[in-house]
Structure 1
Amino acid sequence: MLGIKYLTEAHLKGFERYKYNSIDTSYLSVYIMHPFWNKCVQYFPKWLAPNLITFSGFLLTVVTFILIAFYDWDFTAANNIDRTVPRWVWLVAAINIFLAYTLDGIDGKQARRTGTSGPLGELFDHGLDSYSSVLIPIYMFTLFGTNLLPPKRMFFCIWNIFLNFYLSHVEKYSTGVMFLPWGYDFTMWGVTLVLIFTFIVGSSFWQTTQIFGLTTANIFEISLPVTAMMSSHPIIIKNIYLSYKNKTGKMRPIWEAARPLFAFLWLFIITMIWVFNSANNIINLEPRIMFVLFGTLFSNIACRLIVAQMSDTRCDGFNILMWPLVVVVMVSCFPFYDKLGVQLSVDAERWIVHGLTIFSTIAHIHYGQGVVREMCHHFRIKCFKVRDQKDPLLGYSKSE
């Protein structure tokens, strides 16, 4: 489409050589979820494409996001007792998130049942997961509201989750192995149980409860970096170190191994400048759309890293979609408006935010479908269709 090609010959050759290698040490995943998913997958017809299962799970995440946003677009429903989100919404959200989690665990097993394992499915799965990493945490913000969790603090919560997701792929970029994080399974179960609990007791629980003088929002904020430091970040550092020590990884020079972090850090710095220096404090006026924008840009960075790690090519140090963001931030945070006798209006900045979000979303979707289309063409497969078993298939790969 539009004559743009995203994959080079080096990418495609790298995908041909790619072999999925993962290690899953989570007791919850190994001893509970995988046996459960093995039972569930038996009920799926073999003509059902694994990528269609993956995409269905992602759509459930999007539908839940839209449903909660309909009742609480600006995260202020919890601030007003007369405007709470209906309880049934939390039950629907809990069911949807658990179904999405289950489908995410089943898709790889369906690929092996149908003989369609390969790089496309892994890329498709993790690419959609990178988008979900912003949608799912936003569910939680509605529980607390802006009184307990102001948007600027929500911003750092979002980036904590981005970091957790991204580092696991930085780790694979260096080691060649996907060490499946413990936090994913516990997070999905935790969110599901929280939503069910909210359906039972009502969302007001999260505004009125304190533990050791801390609000539930405080506990949520603290738990994100603490659990990451306990179960994720030190292990990632250790695995990368051992891959160099034992010469089992990609053995890239340190500067090249750190290259994936550059685009991530640039995005964090640029968005933080906007959040804290906006002429109209736009994060308080349009928090949801701002988070969607940041999540879209993050997903594009993450997807390009996943492509690089799977094809064993060099990762981008800067993302092209950040150039429009830089221009917008310069306009929104221009420090000399008062001296020039000019004021950027609230409506103008809101239009800028919405416009950039629409542009970035279209560009990211174009990138995603372009990569999938080019891989399908190269490997002579269809994304959402199981081909004849006699044909060489490359469609999905995920650890048992």
Structure 2
Amino acid sequence: MGYIPQDMLENLRNYKYRGADKSLVSRFVLNPFWTWFVTLWPTWVAPNTITLTGLSIVIFNFATLLYYDPLYLTERDGYTDPPRWVYFSWGIGLFLYQTLDAIDGKQARRTGMAGPLGEMFDHGCDALNTTLECLLASRALGLGRSWWTVASQIATLANFYLTTWEEYHTGVLFLGYFSGPVEGILLIVAIYIVTGFCGPQVWEKRIWTTLHLENLPYISRIPNLPLNEAFMVFGALGLGLNIFHSYMNVREASRAPGGHPHRDSRYSPLTLLLPFVASTALQVAWLSHPEFNDSWIINSASFVPFVCAWGLQFAHQVGRMILAHVTGTGFPVWDWIWIWSVIGAVDANLPRLLNIPPLLQTSPRNTAIVVWVTLVISFLAYARFVTLVISDITNYLGIACFTVRKKDEHGVWKSVRPESHKLA
């Protein structure tokens, strides 16, 4: 059983990607580099192979965190500072991810493989990268297992959700003058490089003290936050601007004659932000265990698998949103993958709800088991989604996912002849 209704498969042939990038850095600095870099790839390399290569680099970076900082995943209060070169490798890896993520579309146009499969695959990898980089960046900033890392996860996922929600209602992927995929990534690369030179302790310094501004009359009235917390505040301001711009773009598209043809008219656009609010509230409620000081999960080795499970559930959620966009189907308001998080959150909050102890999470060990089971279920659910969607699209359109091939009218696989070596 696939995810795409049979009567909506034809919309796959009509789908065309539309994007608008206002970033000056992208236009005048990175895009000329990307245009040159894609020419280094042979036209027999599939665009999705390039995308997957970028995600594999990020997964390797995440593996180095777990290898060189094993206490992050095994001890309640322990940390081991990775070697300085690890932080540099994270910066290089993220820059390579950004580069490969940018050229896969160019490669698709070079090889004549542009279409909805590339859109789905690209955004799916971006969704997974969002959570992995959140954990890496939080570790580089010295935030570790804390509510600041949770806040960072919420902010980064909210940005991604807003962009997907905006694209669903407008039909256009908007990137503003300061966007996460361009300037945001470069900023995180800079954080990795600084941490590589100075260590994560540098981010514990106070911002006004570091800038020698703490004695100025007006500045002294503003809290002298540590640099890492100041970065979180800066991210919150950026999120607020993105919310405003996304809302204005959706409002303009909704008021246009006829609106976007794929917009789900059953719901007001703003109400379709509630699924993200609800899913995020579930995760925070689970973390906010009322029976104990702070939370077993935040203060324990269960934190990393918990965030990874959260990220996989989010990837499933936005994956269905993107699928609805490329097929013209209704907006996915409810996602069944949240059920296990509902169980975890309700069980953890039974002392608050019914004044009885949790039934499942009765000890740190049992809590860890529930978290790891949630991670496995979330991984299998997302893997099933990816497999079925790729199967549906490739079978209907007669294309391959990781090779530059298409089926002819007789059902025989043949290599695609590049339409042009000129880049669009």
Does the pair score TM above 0.5? yes
Task: Say if 2:402 is the partner of 1:381.
Answer: no
- Do the aligned partners of 2:51 and 2:104 also contact (CA within 8 Å) in 1? yes
> Can you give the 5+ residue segments of structure 2 that lack an aligned partner in the other structure?
209-213, 215-223, 409-413
Give the letter aligned to residue 158 of structure 1: Q
Match of 1:276 among 272, 282, 288: 288
Structure 1 residues 85-105: Cα deviation after superposition (integer angstroms, max 9, x where no partner): 210101111111111111111
Cα offset for 1:19? 1.4
Cα offset for 1:278? 5.8
Match of 1:153 among 129, 144, 148: 148
Aligned residue runs from structure 1 range 112-261, under 5 A? 112-146=109-143, 151-181=146-176, 182-183=178-179, 184-211=181-208, 212=214, 213-230=224-241, 232-247=242-257, 248-250=259-261, 252-253=264-265, 255-258=267-270, 260-261=272-273
Cα offset for 1:323? 1.2
Task: Say if 2:330 is the partner of 1:330.
Answer: no
Give the letter aligned to residue 196 of structure 1: I
TM-score, normalised relative to structure 1: 0.89
Indicate how the Cα distance of structure 1 residues 46 and 339 shifts in structure 2: closer, same or farther if over 3 A, else same: closer
Distance 1:108 1:167 in 2: 22
TM-score, normalised relative to structure 2: 0.84
Distance 1:287 1:375 in 2: 36
Structure 1 residues 306-354: Cα deviation after superposition (integer angstroms, max 9, x where no partner): 0001111101111011112212222232227975798811101111101
> Can you give the 5+ residue segments of structure 1 that lack an aligned partner in the other structure?
none
Q: Give the SS at the match of 2:401.
A: coil
Task: Say if 2:320 is the partner of 1:304.
Answer: yes
Moved more, 37-46 or 196-205: 196-205
Give the letter aligned to residue 361 of structure 1: F
Distance 1:82 1:65 in 2: 15
Distance 1:22 1:89 in 2: 35
Distance 2:95 2:388 in 1: 30
Indicate how the Cα distance of structure 1 residues 116 and 153 shifts in structure 2: closer, same or farther if over 3 A, else same: same
Distance 1:57 1:33 in 2: 17
Cα offset for 1:259? 5.3
Indicate how the Cα distance of structure 1 residues 252 and 376 shifts in structure 2: closer, same or farther if over 3 A, else same: closer
Task: Say if 2:335 is the partner of 1:319.
Answer: yes
Cα offset for 1:144? 3.4
Structure 1 residues 225-266: Cα deviation after superposition (integer angstroms, max 9, x where no partner): 102223x22211111111123325346547253454232222
Moved more, 45-54 or 257-266: 257-266
Aligned to 1:357: 375
Cα offset for 1:76? 9.7
Cα RMSD between the aligned structures? 2.8
Give the letter aligned to residue 84 of structure 1: D
- Do the aligned partners of 2:163 and 2:246 also contact (CA within 8 Å) in 1? yes
Give the letter aligned to residue 298 of structure 2: I
- Do the aligned partners of 2:48 and 2:104 also contact (CA within 8 Å) in 1? yes
Indicate how the Cα distance of structure 1 residues 150 and 55 shifts in structure 2: closer, same or farther if over 3 A, else same: closer
Moved more, 11-20 or 58-67: 11-20
Give the letter aligned to residue 106 of structure 1: I
Moved more, 175-184 or 330-339: 330-339
Cα offset for 1:203? 2.6
Give the letter aligned to residue 159 of structure 2: N
Distance 1:387 1:84 in 2: 46
Distance 1:303 1:341 in 2: 33
Q: Give the SS at the match of 2:114.
A: coil
Give the letter aligned to residue 322 of structure 1: W
Distance 1:60 1:229 in 2: 31
- Do the aligned partners of 1:11 and 1:308 also contact (CA within 8 Å) in 2? no
Q: Give the SS at the match of 1:179.
A: strand
Structure 1 residues 192-243: Cα deviation after superposition (integer angstroms, max 9, x where no partner): 122122222233212345435210221121011102223x222111111111
Indicate how the Cα distance of structure 1 residues 27 and 120 shifts in structure 2: closer, same or farther if over 3 A, else same: same
Give the letter aligned to residue 174 of structure 1: H
Query: What is the number of residues matched between the two proteins?
Result: 389
Distance 2:333 2:358 in 1: 38
Q: Give the SS at the match of 1:383.
A: coil
Indicate how the Cα distance of structure 1 residues 354 and 265 shifts in structure 2: closer, same or farther if over 3 A, else same: same
Give the letter aligned to residue 246 of structure 1: A
- Do the aligned partners of 1:115 and 1:389 also contact (CA within 8 Å) in 2? no
Indicate how the Cα distance of structure 1 residues 246 and 339 shifts in structure 2: closer, same or farther if over 3 A, else same: closer
Distance 2:73 2:107 in 1: 42
Distance 1:215 1:28 in 2: 28
Cα offset for 1:75? 5.0
Moved more, 247-256 or 312-321: 247-256
Moved more, 115-124 or 269-278: 269-278
Q: Give the SS at the match of 1:255.
A: coil
Cα offset for 1:114? 1.0
Aligned to 1:290: 306
Give the letter aligned to residue 282 of structure 2: I
Q: Give the SS at the match of 2:174.
A: strand
Cα offset for 1:109? 0.7
Distance 2:78 2:342 in 1: 39
Q: Give the SS at the match of 2:2.
A: coil
- Do the aligned partners of 2:72 and 2:80 also contact (CA within 8 Å) in 1? no
Distance 1:103 1:26 in 2: 18
